[in-house]
Amino acid sequence: MNAPLEPGLYIVATPIGNLGDLSPRAADILSRADVVAVEDSRVTAGLLRHIGVKRPMQPYHDHNGEGVRPGLIARMATESVALVSDAGTPLISDPGYKLVRDARAAGHLVVTIPGPCAAVAALTLAGLPTDRFLFCGFLPSKEKARADAITEIAGIRATLVLYESGPRLSACLTALAAGLGDREAAVTREISKKFEEAVTGTLSSLAARYADGGPRGEIAIVVAPPGDPEPARIEDADEALAEALTRLPVSKAAGEVARAFGLDRKTLYARAMALKSG
Ligand code: SAM
């Protein structure tokens, strides 16, 4: 075996479908770790087989995390613990953040080995703005909770990235169209696998396309940011201006309302004078 790793926690990203995407560094860390914390040992056993190594595995998932975490943290004092999830980057819609938090609190080495992540891969396929994006993970599956979650993100000026399953895809797209407006979007599927695709269109056209049943496989949805708001017209500011004039002298009222509406101060001053005299 190669030289042992320094004790601590190694967060290792693994492929989201194509085993060729496992980085040489990830393979090296996995082959040298004293123990690999895994979501599902059958899934990770397949990955370890692919790189020709056998390592001890410790299941670590949402249902046993509380019980297992202290033992893993204690082991990090003298051993190297690699954390993987079934696919992609641990912690991204997957368990792990409490392990990182507690490892750091205990003063252990924490290292990340970056790699595939479906959210970022979906963004690269969608052809939508990438300068600001919000990762929303899975929306709630119940209708009301999902609509509430969508209302919460509707005003955010960023591209949205969501994970979804095939059977819920159409309902999710319909709810997104209702709550966000009919924005441009992309449904990306089976990224890095044989049937990788990205289907683009408006949210409602995509909902219609998948209405007869969602496609198979793993899906990430990308939704364009909201369009630019309509520029305010001078008439829109009348009410605010009249209210401001009850509290402030004309020039100050014009300045306050100009800032709030993004309008020209001089124009608003003239308007305020007209309002006052008429
Ligand atoms: N940690 C993973 C990552 O870094 O992307 C995500 C884990 S989350 C439990 C699994 C979800 O990610 C799937 O249900 C799907 O929405 C999305 N996903 C995973 N692999 C994908 C792929 N190859 N193509 C599209 N979406 C994928």
Task: Work out the pLDDT band at 235, boundaries 50, 70, 90.
Answer: confident
DSSP H or E run through 97: helix 97-105
Q: Which CATH architecture has domain 8-113?
A: 3-Layer(aba) Sandwich (3.40)
218 lines ligand 1 (CB under 6 A): yes
Of all protein residues, the one whose alpha carbon is nearest to atom 16 of ligand 1 is 163
Task: Work out the pLDDT band at 1, boundaries 50, 70, 90.
Answer: low
pLDDT digits (tens, 9 = 90+) for 169-195: 999 999 999 999 999 999 999 999 999
Q: Look at residue 58 and give its three-state secondary structure.
A: strand
What's the token pair of residue 92? 């991204």
CA distance 37 to 85: 8
Based on the number of CB atoms within 10 Å of its own CB, is 210 exposed (0-12), middle (13-18) or buried (19 or more)?
buried
Mean pLDDT of 89-101: 98
Whether residue 89 is predicted with pLDDT greater than 90 in this model: the reply is yes
Q: How is 174-204 classified by DSSP, letter by letter?
A: HHHHHHH-S-EEEEEESTTSTT-EEEEEEHH
What pLDDT is recorded for position 260? 81
pLDDT digits (tens, 9 = 90+) for 48-76: 999 999 999 999 999 999 999 999 999 99
Task: Give 36's strand partners.
Answer: 57, 82
92 lines ligand 1 (CB under 6 A): yes
- In sequence order, what are the residues at sequence separation of 6 or more whose Cβ sits closer than 8 angstroms to the Cβ of residue 266? none
What pLDDT is recorded for position 183? 97
Q: How is 114-146 classified by DSSP, letter by letter?
A: ----HHHHHHHHH-S--SSEEEEEEPPSSHHHH
Whether residue 272 is predicted with pLDDT greater than 70 in this model: the reply is yes
Task: Work out the pLDDT band at 96, boundaries 50, 70, 90.
Answer: very high
Residue among 173, 191, 218, 222 whose CB has most ligand 1 atoms within 8 A, to mutate: 218
- In sequence order, what are the residues at sequence separation of 6 or more whose Cβ sits closer than 8 angstroms to the Cβ of residue 191? 16, 17, 118, 121, 122, 125, 218, 220
Task: Note the CATH number of domain 118-223.
Answer: 3.30.950.10
What pLDDT is recorded for position 276? 82
Q: Look at residue 93 and give its three-state secondary structure.
A: coil
Task: Give 219's strand partners.
Answer: 164, 189
Task: Ligand 1, residue 188: give the atom nearest the CA.
Answer: 25
CA distance 116 to 183: 27
What's the token pair of residue 268? 């608003």
Q: Are 128 and 26 in contact (CB under 8 A)?
A: no
